[in-house]
Amino acid sequence: MSEQLTLSAETRDRAGKGASRAIRREGRVPAVVYGNKEEPLAIHVEEKALIKALSSGHFMNSVVMIDHPGGQARTLPKDVQFHPVTDRPLHVDFLRISEHSEVHVSVPISFVGEDRSRGLKRGGVLNAVRHELELVCDAASIPDEIEIDLSGMDIGDSLHISQVKLPDGVQSAITDRDFTIATIVPSSGMTLDTEDAAAAEAAPEAPAEAEGDETKEG
């Protein structure tokens, strides 16, 4: 289960680009907390603390508790804007949620069992169509990652969402199709060999000459 993070925040009295630039010069990042049928709350958080949370690798699918002068807000990060050149965080949107809200999150995929995949052992290549899964689950039970086992997969095999065992209480957010997550494909060299073999098999065999059946003209 994804761990809970905590960020200390101060409220913002002023809005606008000028006020936001002034906040950033002080090493802070403007942010807003919204949702759950409450008024939006304009805040700013320490840039260093935010960068540390972002470096966890699962910030966007973690519950973040925002400690502010008016109390505490349970949130889920929804968007982080970054500077196009420096990559410094410029603004964060937090969605206010209750403890057991049903949330929509993107959770990273971890592929396991490569050593038990016949196709990969034969020299095939894993083609990961998706690196994350869009899931719906309880806010208190967000998975860190979803393990997907490649054991037994051969070249040409595809793995679909219907074949993935999700944790209890977790469902795919995409329900209208059985989408592909990964396939095992031949390497370029293997593709060429396969085509050559198929062409040779399809070619007509030359008739064999019968021994001693040559006709002499005289």
Contact between 12 and 31 under an 8 Å Cβ cutoff? The reply is no
DSSP H or E stretch at residue 109: strand 102-112
Contact between 56 and 64 under an 8 Å Cβ cutoff? The reply is no
The better pLDDT of the pair 57, 185 is held by 185
Token pair 């019968």 in the structure block, residue: 210
The pLDDT value given to residue 164: 96
Q: How far is CA 77 from CA 72, 104, 107, 143, 161, in A?
A: 15, 11, 13, 15, 25
The pLDDT value given to residue 1: 61
Question: What CATH number is given for 103-201 in this structure?
Answer: 2.170.120.20
- Residue 197 clears pLDDT 70, i.e. is over it: no
Q: What CATH homologous superfamily does 5-98 map to? A: Ribosomal Protein L25; Chain P (2.40.240.10)
Q: Which residues contact 127 (CB under 8 A, 6 or more apart)?
A: 182, 183, 184, 185
Tell me: the pLDDT tens digits for 75-111? 999 999 999 999 999 999 999 999 889 999 999 999 9
- Residue 138 clears pLDDT 60, i.e. is over it: yes
Domain ranges of the chain: 5-98, 103-201
- Residue 113 clears pLDDT 80, i.e. is over it: yes
The pLDDT value given to residue 56: 84
At 107, the amino acid letter reads: V
Q: How many residues does the chain have?
A: 218
Q: Which residues contact 204 (CB under 8 A, 6 or more apart)?
A: none
Q: How far is CA 60 from CA 72, 76, 107, 152, 158, in A?
A: 19, 7, 9, 33, 28
One fold for both 5-98 and 103-201?
no
